[in-house]
Structure 1
Amino acid sequence: MEGLREAISLEGVLFGLATYGLFIIVLFALAKLLPGQMIQGQPLPGSGKRLTYKVNGMALFVAVHMLIFVGAWFLDLSLTPLLDHFWSLLVAANIITVAWLVLMNRGSRARLRKAAAGDEAQTDDPKHSVLGRLWYGIELNPQFLGVDLKTFAYQPSLIGLGVLNVAFGWAQYEQLGHLTPQMLAYQVFWWGYLFSHYWIEDNVLSMWDVIAERFGLMLLWGDLVLVPFFYCIGGWWLLANPEPMPIWRVLAIVALHVTGLWIFRESNSQKHRFKLDPGATIWGKPARTVGGRLLVSGWWGIGRKINYTGEIMVYASFALCTGFSSVIPYLLPLWLCVLLPHRAWRDEQRCAAKYGEVWVEYTQIAKFRMIPFLY
């Protein structure tokens, strides 16, 4: 890690601003120009309005693959400089986030002044202070040139994370002439995680962030800074420790990852399909419900927040690829082990208040939150 990173410098920050800024601009242009499915979102709180989104993240994901391939084959492109300037890139990402927020808020305030009175989903929240409005956001669905900015921000976030992760493998190949078994597993894990996200990308339209969270610094900083620069942290330890991991250990981690990814993606997909069509088929049978409202088919009849279990398993597998030389790569799954059980508890409080006796009946069927017989 020490051999690759440099002290933050003005030159490095300028490189970061140019690189990350161009990356976002190219992705935005592709999001605007490339074809995609037009999919109607969930009803928005307050107004009940349903927006239509162009879902073309897979096209962007493939396009970035092609750009990297062309650059490497014809222009001798290397991704290693991204690691050489990693910390300067991190500073640049924060600067870009603030600039995006300022410009977006100016546009949001202009749109709100023109918005129809009584549209609660698109009006400023008087309960929040100035700082609160910056943090939580002013507008639910800000747009620019017809592109929904909230859902677009997932693209530089996840694809940027993918590029940084590939950079670690690229650097190791330049150093060793091959990838270690654990680095190969790490690369395949992350690629599969991102590919599976884009394969069922329309699922994000039923996420709470998209439906009900205003788009402010909280979500924007998480997308542009936290996810790409924190979630790739294990790559440093894989690069610094090239001693090959025993194959039996790699295979055990593969089993953990595949199982966790299946639970995570399939459970979220089941709920999304049910929201779109209450008569959807799940595990070969029509969806079963409690009170006609709560899904008890598939994974949702096993655990009330079983998707969180799968997510923790996935992130644990990323960390396990780094071995046990440092606790730092485990900060992400450990953080999720605190965040997600607490979120599950809060979600259950809201569900109990919303569904009443129907929720009590549901908990008699899905007896566990995340871990059968334990939690």
Structure 2
Amino acid sequence: MAALALMDFVLVAFVLVLFAGSRWIPGRSVPAAATEDLAAAGDTDTETEPPRAYRLNGAWLFALTAGAAAGFWIWSPRVLVWPDRHWGELLLVANAFAFALAWLLFRTGRRRTPAASGPSGRRRGLSDYFYGVERNPVWAGVDLKFFSYRPSLIGLFVFNVSAAAVQYTGQGSLSGRMLLYQIFFFVYLANYFQFEGGMVHTWDLIAERFGWMLVWGDYVLVPFFYGISGRTLIHVREPLPLWLGAVCCALFVFGFWLFRGANDQKHRFKTGGAVTIWGRPAETLGGRLLVSGFWGIGRKLNYTGELLVYLSWTLLCGTGSVVPYLLPAFLLLMFVHRAHRDDRRCRVKYGRLWEEYCRRARFRMFPFVY
């Protein structure tokens, strides 16, 4: 019990420190998505909702965490072993934290917006708890849904560094596989916080309500499941073949270019209107749908790129265990489901314009396949 109490304290302290940093560290503010985007998402209360803005200071929080990790690595790498050694206990308390936070959001949401909960009853109550009542609950001036990406991804970074520390303290050095994995993941996470403002235009932030589904995903699924390759690599002793390293590097670079490039093109189009893509003025359909660059080739190539990024570091684990390959398999299923879900929404939102776009961009994620 004492050990779990310590884990509770560590996890809550970690989240509270990041919350305080999100509240008080200066950062550029960006406005929330336009009202028309919210209405297209099915929100009926956009006229009464006050204007919102997001403070982009996640890069500072990530940099401070990375700096602290570097300091501990120089001073005593054994300190960084602690998160991995207590992974199971932290997983348990993270689940308890996620369920409790979802319940608190459910109760406060019902009190603030009783009309949104509709008729009472067990089925409706379970639905509100699972999906959430409020779309953007704000505590102490911090949007909780936007904030929760920070403990999620920074927590994942901490677990990755801890896995490296376990291998380093146990074997005296980092394997080529682990080193490459750490580089890939650091670039991926740092890039997220560098372009944190792009999250404002994602479907999760615009439309999804903040309930157990997103809370559990942020505080449990991402930090504990997404770093499974790093924990696997602790015990992989086979040297990294040159050909495999080259394949993984090529997959990462190409996937990252596809993932970040597609998202950047859409973000610039949404925020800047007329932009230049691949050296030419952006082409659109009705001024609403981008058909230049990646978006003229496939409708969800950003999903394809992100999947390739995750596959690049999973392949570093070799074939000794199937466990690390569960993550790209899970992401493949999730992205396919999201692509179908997005397609249904866009058909309702854009009508015939979407049919024309589908004829222009024939593929969803994999050219000539899907």
TM-score by length of 1: 0.90
Aligned pair 1:124/2:117, yes or no? Answer: yes
Q: Which amino acid aligns with 1:94?
A: N
Gaps of 5+ in 2: none
Q: Deviations over 1:210-262 (max 9, x none)?
A: 11111111100000000000011112221111221112211210110111011
8 Å Cα contact 1:15-1:89 kept in structure 2: no
Aligned-pair Cα RMSD in Å: 1.9
- Assess, with a 3 A threshold, how the Cα gap between structure 1 residues 75 and 321 changes in structure 2: closer, same or farther: closer
Measure how far apart 1:330 and its partner are: 0.5
Q: Which amino acid aligns with 1:159?
A: I
- Number of aligned residue pairs: 358
Measure how far apart 1:297 and its partner are: 1.1
Aligned pair 1:91/2:102, yes or no? Answer: no
- The correspondence for 1:233, drawn from 228, 249, 262, is 228
8 Å Cα contact 2:106-2:128 kept in structure 1: no
Aligned pair 1:135/2:130, yes or no? Answer: yes
Give the secondary structure class of the aligned counterpart of 2:30: strand
Alignment of 1:255-274 (within 5 A): 255-274=250-269
Q: Which amino acid aligns with 1:89?
A: L
Query: 2:240 matched to which residue of 1?
Result: 245
Measure how far apart 1:183 and its partner are: 0.5
Q: 2: distance between equivalents of 1:72 and 1:166?
A: 9
Q: 2: distance between equivalents of 1:71 and 1:336?
A: 33
- The correspondence for 1:318, drawn from 310, 313, 316, is 313
Please say which of residues 53-62 and 94-103 is displaced more in the overlay. 94-103
8 Å Cα contact 1:290-1:362 kept in structure 2: yes
- Assess, with a 3 A threshold, how the Cα gap between structure 1 residues 125 and 171 changes in structure 2: closer, same or farther: farther
Alignment of 1:216-365 (within 5 A): 216-365=211-360
Q: 1: distance between equivalents of 2:159 and 2:330?
A: 21
8 Å Cα contact 1:12-1:89 kept in structure 2: no
Please say which of residues 312-321 and 215-224 is displaced more in the overlay. 312-321
Give the secondary structure class of the aligned counterpart of 1:79: helix
Q: 2: distance between equivalents of 1:350 and 1:146?
A: 31
Query: 1:35 matched to which residue of 2?
Result: 26
Q: 1: distance between equivalents of 2:230 and 2:247?
A: 19
Query: 1:46 matched to which residue of 2?
Result: 44
Gaps of 5+ in 1: 1-9, 118-122
8 Å Cα contact 1:12-1:85 kept in structure 2: no
8 Å Cα contact 2:259-2:306 kept in structure 1: yes
Q: 2: distance between equivalents of 1:85 and 1:314?
A: 28
Q: 2: distance between equivalents of 1:46 and 1:285?
A: 38
Q: 2: distance between equivalents of 1:182 and 1:336?
A: 22
Q: Percent identity?
A: 45
Aligned pair 1:60/2:61, yes or no? Answer: yes
Query: 1:149 matched to which residue of 2?
Result: 144
Query: 1:7 matched to which residue of 2?
Result: none
Aligned pair 1:112/2:110, yes or no? Answer: no
Query: 1:102 matched to which residue of 2?
Result: 103
Q: 1: distance between equivalents of 2:343 and 2:321?
A: 35
Q: 2: distance between equivalents of 1:170 and 1:322?
A: 17
TM-score by length of 2: 0.91
Measure how far apart 1:67 and its partner are: 2.5
- Assess, with a 3 A threshold, how the Cα gap between structure 1 residues 98 and 298 changes in structure 2: closer, same or farther: same
